Structure 1
Amino acid sequence: MIKFPVIERQVLDLSRPRVMGILNVTPDSFYDGGKYLSETKVIERIRQIVEEGADIIDVGACSTRPGAAGVDEKEEMARLEPAVELIRKYYPNMLVSIDTYRAKIAEEINTCLGPVIVNDISGGTMDSRMFETVARMKVPYILMHIQGIPRTMQRNPVYENVVEEVKLFFKERITRLNELGFDNLILDPGFGFGKTAEHNFQLMEALDTFQELGYPVLSGISRKGMIWKTLDITPAEALNGTTVLNTVSLMKGAQLLRVHDVKEAVEAVKLFNCIHQFARF
């Protein structure tokens, strides 16, 4: 039985897959860095994500692309807070996720702007206060696997068995969170975060086995290197490949897709649901 996350006493129903649209308010994200830096552009992007049918907006204010140097806490908050405020202002019922590994940022946004989902690319490894913070706030927490840190994570990542090692990481982190009385979780295997293309495809093939851990699974492969490097194209040309792997993710049991291209992901979910209704159990 998969346990669905809860936000503001409401169950986030993932009995059918949902789509999370990406809003990067950064100058240096790998695909759309620098596109949404003015208030006008941010509002346009928020409207696009909503109108194309996303269920959640994921706001990132600190690039975590391979090789990224990161920004300090003050700068991250200066970028993040206005974007979340704009979502609250124009679409107050929209679910919001914040892409941050800093406990203080997570707490301040939740305190000042209302409950949000915390999307932590580090799985609590880059801020020792994160687990205690989300356990106290009781907001949904996306627990992602990473090997290393963004600046160095793609310098020869090594695993004996990537699937089993990611599962072991999850089991250890889940135990720690459960000991704090917290289980409001979504799991993300972290495609591209300290993994080669081969590692990523191994994780994709075994994605359905992560359901055994009892929590919903997020797939975040949108326009990533595993697609465009494999196909010898650019990130800008990787929409078709993204849709293919989003569909594979759905077939492998992913309950949440994190994407740049919302319309195409929503269409993939709709078609998947048409097929899945006839699934033989």
Structure 2
Amino acid sequence: MAEKNFFEPKQSLNIKGRLIDLSRPKVMGILNITPDSFYSNSRTKSIDEALAKTAQYLTEGATFIDIGGYSSRPGAKDISEQEEIDRLVPVVASLSEAFPEAIFSIDTFRAKVAEATIQAGAHIVNDIATGDMDELMFETVARLQVPYMIMHMQGTPQNMQQNPVYENVTLEVVDYLAKKVAELKALHIHDVIIDPGFGFGKTIAHNYELLNQMEAFRVFKLPVLVGFSRKGMIYKTLGTTAAEALNGTSVLNTIALQKGAGILRVHDVREAVECVRLVEMLG
């Protein structure tokens, strides 16, 4: 029976005994506790700012708030594990106290950071490296028994955009994630969300090929998260800037929803919620 349940389409997440319905797409608001994230308006410099931004996101319709203390933009500065913990734990503790019904995910590839922030009140681990940058991550998530978001990335944030090469980007991303899902299943981690990793070790052409073939990820029968928000695949294509990329973000979010995306990770929650509502009108 466990085998059957694992491979049926996931329609919910277990958040500390609370079931979150995923039968309709959800929106995740990005909360960066960093001084160097690629989109300057997303940088949060204090707990008060984090509280205000979270309140805004929740009012606008976000189901999840994704909190990051390590910038993963191309060429980002590496910071220590302790600095990441010091940035995140006070924010998570304050937010979980102020918004006890909210659901917080932690954007980290480090097991100790994941554990410290879950203990501080977070609910989900969002790992851009899917265990490849910390060999303790899988066993830590299994022990914590929290939902786990896994993403494909070629390389590291410091070098991922130097020269990404694929023979077949969609096939290689699906194959990578399939192997990881099998490992997680063996560890009895069943609340898994997959992320193709748009913008992480991929050229603009790779990103659009992945988006065009996004139906391929339905093979997992797991929720699919997409993160296009204000990224270079939008503003470089249009010859603009991240600050001018909201319209393009909404276009790609709409396409992704039509191709099966279950979670939109965004800087602009209200607009993403509108995308979900309008696409749902198509039936």
Tell me whether the two structures share a fold, i.e. TM-score over 0.5. Answer: yes
Q: Secondary structure at the match of 2:197?
A: coil
1:270 maps to: 277
Say if 1:26 and 1:63, in contact at 8 Å, map to a contact too.
yes
Query: 1:13-162, aligned counterparts within 5 Å?
Result: 13-32=21-40, 35-111=43-119, 113-162=120-169
**Superposition deviation, residue 226 in structure 1:** 0.4
Say if 2:27 and 2:264, in contact at 8 Å, map to a contact too.
yes
Structure 2: stretches of 5+ with no match in the other structure:
1-7
Which moves more between the two structures, 83-92 or 160-169? 83-92
CA distance in 1, matches of 2:47, 2:115: 24
CA distance in 1, matches of 2:135, 2:269: 33
CA distance in 1, matches of 2:30, 2:281: 25
**Superposition deviation, residue 239 in structure 1:** 0.2
Q: Number of residue pairs matched?
A: 275
Q: Which runs of 4+ in 1 moved over 3 A?
A: none
2:3 maps to: none
1:189 maps to: 196
Which amino acid letter does the alignment assign opposite residue 226 of structure 1? M
Structure 1: stretches of 5+ with no match in the other structure:
277-281
Which moves more between the two structures, 82-91 or 248-257? 82-91
CA distance in 2, matches of 1:99, 1:123: 11
Which amino acid letter does the alignment assign opposite residue 130 of structure 1? M
Which moves more between the two structures, 46-55 or 148-157? 46-55
**Superposition deviation, residue 115 in structure 1:** 4.9
**Superposition deviation, residue 36 in structure 1:** 1.2
CA distance in 2, matches of 1:223, 1:100: 20
CA distance in 1, matches of 2:102, 2:233: 31
TM-score normalised by length of structure 1:
0.95
Which amino acid letter does the alignment assign opposite residue 62 of structure 2? A
CA distance in 1, matches of 2:9, 2:31: 28
Say if 1:28 and 1:34, in contact at 8 Å, map to a contact too.
no
Q: 1:117 to 1:123 in 2, by over 3 A?
A: same
Which moves more between the two structures, 115-124 or 5-14? 5-14
Identity of aligned residues (%): 51
**Superposition deviation, residue 13 in structure 1:** 1.2
Q: Secondary structure at the match of 1:5?
A: strand
Say if 1:27 and 1:33, in contact at 8 Å, map to a contact too.
no
Q: Secondary structure at the match of 1:182?
A: coil
Which amino acid letter does the alignment assign opposite residue 10 of structure 1? R
Say if 2:37 and 2:43, in contact at 8 Å, map to a contact too.
no
1:211 maps to: 218
**Superposition deviation, residue 2 in structure 1:** 1.2
CA distance in 2, matches of 1:109, 1:38: 17
2:5 maps to: none
CA distance in 1, matches of 2:60, 2:38: 22
**Superposition deviation, residue 10 in structure 1:** 2.4
Say if 1:27 and 1:34, in contact at 8 Å, map to a contact too.
no
Aligned Cα RMSD in Å? 1.2
Q: Secondary structure at the match of 2:27?
A: strand
Which whole-Å deviations, capped at 9, do the CAs of 1:22-81 have from their partners, x for residues lacking one? 000100000036741122222221111111110010001000000012211111011111
Which whole-Å deviations, capped at 9, do the CAs of 1:135-181 have from their partners, x for residues lacking one? 11110000100000000000010000000000110111111111112
Say if 1:96 and 1:116, in contact at 8 Å, map to a contact too.
yes
